[in-house]
Amino acid sequence: MPARVSGVGTSVPPRVMTNDELSKIVDTSDEWIFSHTGIKSRHIAADDVAASDLGLEAAQAALGSAGVEPESIDMILLATSTPDYPSMPATASIIQDRLGAGNAGAMDISVACSGFVYGLGTAAAFINSGQSSCILVIGSEVYSKIINWADRNSCVLFGDGAGAVVVQATTDAGISDTVLHSVGSGALSLYRPVGGSRESCLPSTPDSRTKLHMEGRQVYNFAVQAIIDTVEEILGRNNLTIADVNHVVAHQANVRIIDAACKRAGYPSDIFFKNIEHYANTSAASIPIALNDMEQQGLLGPGDTVITVGFGAGLTYGGNLLTWG
Ligand code: ACO
C-alpha cells in the first residue's frame, strides 16, 4: 500500500532564549549569530524535561490532527540523539507506554539530524510491504543537555523541540520515494567523544569531553553538498525537475547552508522553507516542526510536491519525496 502523512504536531518548551541572553553566557553577539546562521532565538527545556516529554506531546498533537487513536498505531519510530537514558531503553518505548499505544512496536533511530527522513522512509517501507498500516514518526531533541555551553562555536546553534507525523496506508500517492546515505569517514567531525563503548566516562573526565564536539566548517561544506545531492537524486529518480517541486523542507541547521546550496545549484530559494530564526537547530525535530509551521501558515496544499532533506552526524544525509494531503 502507498503511505501518506495524515497528521502533524509539535511541542517546544515555553522558555525562549534570545541571542542577547546567550551573549551573556559566552563571548558572542546577536549580530554574529544572526549574520552567520539566521538564528535569533531558541527554545530551551527545563531541567526536568527529557526527549520523551516533548516527543509525547508532539505525538499527541499529531494523533489529534490525524484523528487517530493511540491503539491504532502499530509502530513508533523515534528519531533522537538525546535519548532519556544512554543506549537503553529506547525512548520510543517510554513514549509508547505513556501514549497508551498498546499495539505498537517501538524503536529509536540514531542518525542525528537525518533521523526524521530516515524515519519517514522506514515508515513508508513498512507500510508499502504490508507489515504496518499506521506509524508514528517522531523527532524529539533536547540538545541543551548535550552541548558545551562554554563553546561558542557550537552552543549558539542548537535549540530544543519535538515534531511528529502520523503515517498511514492510503490508496492515493503519498511518500513515493526515499534516498538515504552515510559518509562514515566524517564520523568524528560531529560527535560526543566520551561516554560510549570507545571511551568510558571516568571521574577524571572533563565534562566538555562528554558533550557535543563539532568541526563546523567541515560539517558546513558537507551539508551544502548533501542538500544538492539529495535533491538531484530524488529529481533524477522520479523524472522531475526543480520546477515540479512546490516546497523543499531542508533540515534547519543554518540559513547560509540552504542559501549556499540554492546558489550553487541554481534552485529558486523561495521554495525552501525557513524557520530557523525562532528555533535554531532542533536536529531530528526540525523537519516535522517546519512541516507543522507550514501547515499552520497555510503554505501546504493538497497535492503539493514536497522534498525533505536531512543531514547531520554520521555523517548521514537523505530525503523523501511526498505528495502532501
Ligand atoms: N560568536 C562570535 N564569534 C564566533 C562564534 C560565535 N558564536 N563562533 C565562532 N566565532 C568566530 C570564530 O572563532 C572565528 O574567529 P577567528 O577568525 O578569530 O578564528 C570566526 O568567528 C569565524 O569562524 P568560522 O568557523 O569560520 O565561522 P563560519 O562562518 O564557518 O560559521 C558555523 C561557523 C556557523 C558553525 C558554520 O561553520 C556552520 O554552520 N557549520 C555547520 C554546523 C551544522 O550545521 N551543524 C549541525 C549539523 S546537524 C547535526 O547532526 C547535529
Distance (Å, rounded) from C-alpha 87 to C-alpha 27?
Answer: 34
Check pocket membership of 32 for ligand 1, CB cut-off 6 A: yes
Residue 58 belongs to domain with CATH number: 3.40.47.10
Nearest-angstrom CA–CA distance, 154 and 254? 12
pTM of full prediction above 0.95? yes
- Which one of 19, 148, 281, 320 is the catalytic residue? 281
pLDDT score of 106 more than 90: yes
pLDDT of 145-186, one tens digit each?
A: 999 999 999 999 999 999 999 999 998 889 999 999 999 999
Q: What is the distance between the alpha carbons of residues 279 and 92, in angstroms, rounded to a whole number?
A: 23
The torsion angles phi and psi of 70, rounded to 5 degrees, stand at -55, -35
Asked if residues 118 and 111 have their Cβ atoms less than 8 Å apart, the reply is yes
Best probe residue, ligand 1, of 21, 27, 148, 153 (max atoms within 8 Å of C-beta): 153
Nearest CA to ligand 1 atom 47: 312
Closest CA to 262 of 294, 290, 224, 293: 224
281 lines ligand 1 (CB under 6 A): yes
Range(s) of the domain holding residue 194: 1-325
Q: What gap in Å lies between CA 297 and CA 15, rounded to an integer? A: 22
Non-local CB neighbours of 288 within 8 Å, separated by 6+ positions = 8, 10, 58, 116, 137, 138, 139, 162, 163, 164, 165
Total of domains in the chain: 1
pLDDT in tens, 298-309: 999 999 999 999
Q: Is 43 among the residues known to form the active site? A: no
Query: Mutation test of ligand 1: which of 36, 225, 251 has the most ligand atoms closer than 8 Å to its C-beta?
Result: 36
Percent of the chain predicted with pLDDT > 90: 96
Q: What is the per-residue DSSP string for 251-268?
A: --S-HHHHHHHHHHHT--
Q: What is the pLDDT of residue 275?
A: 98
Question: CB–CB of 189/214 below 8 Å?
Answer: yes
Active site residue 278: no
Q: Rounded to the nearest whole angstrom, what is the distance from the C-alpha of residue 290 to the centroid of ligand 1?
A: 23
Establish whether residue 113 lines the binding site of ligand 1, counting it when its CB lies within 6 angstroms of any ligand atom: yes
At 173 the pLDDT is 80
Residue 198 scores a pLDDT above 90? yes
> Strand order in 134-142's β-sheet?
3-11, 160-169, 134-142, 75-79, 105-109
Question: Is the minimum distance from the CB of 156 to ligand 1 under 6 angstroms?
Answer: yes
The values of phi and psi at residue 228, to 5°, are -65, -45
Task: Calculate the average pLDDT of the chain.
Answer: 97
Per-residue model confidence (pLDDT) at position 162: 98
Give the span between the Cα atoms of 5 and 322, in whole angstroms: 9
Question: Are 103 and 136 spatial neighbours (Cβ–Cβ below 8 Å)?
Answer: no
Name the nearest CA neighbour of 93 among 77, 82, 80: 77
Asked whether the predicted pLDDT for residue 325 surpasses 90, the reply is: no
Residue 214 pLDDT > 90, yes or no? yes
Annotation marks residue 201 as catalytic: no
| pLDDT single digits (tens) 2-29 | 999 999 999 999 999 999 999 999 999 9
The set of residues, in sequence order, having a beta carbon less than 8 Å from that of 84 and lying 6+ positions away, is 50, 51, 52, 91, 94
Pocket test for ligand 1, best of 118, 220, 221 (most atoms within 8 A of CB): 220
Instruction: Give the model's pLDDT for residue 281.
Output: 98
**Cell numbers describing residue 228:** 544538492
pLDDT of residue 172: 85
Residue ranges of alpha helices (H) inside 67-110 are 91-99
pLDDT, one tens digit per residue, over 258-288 is 999 999 999 999 999 999 999 999 999 999 9
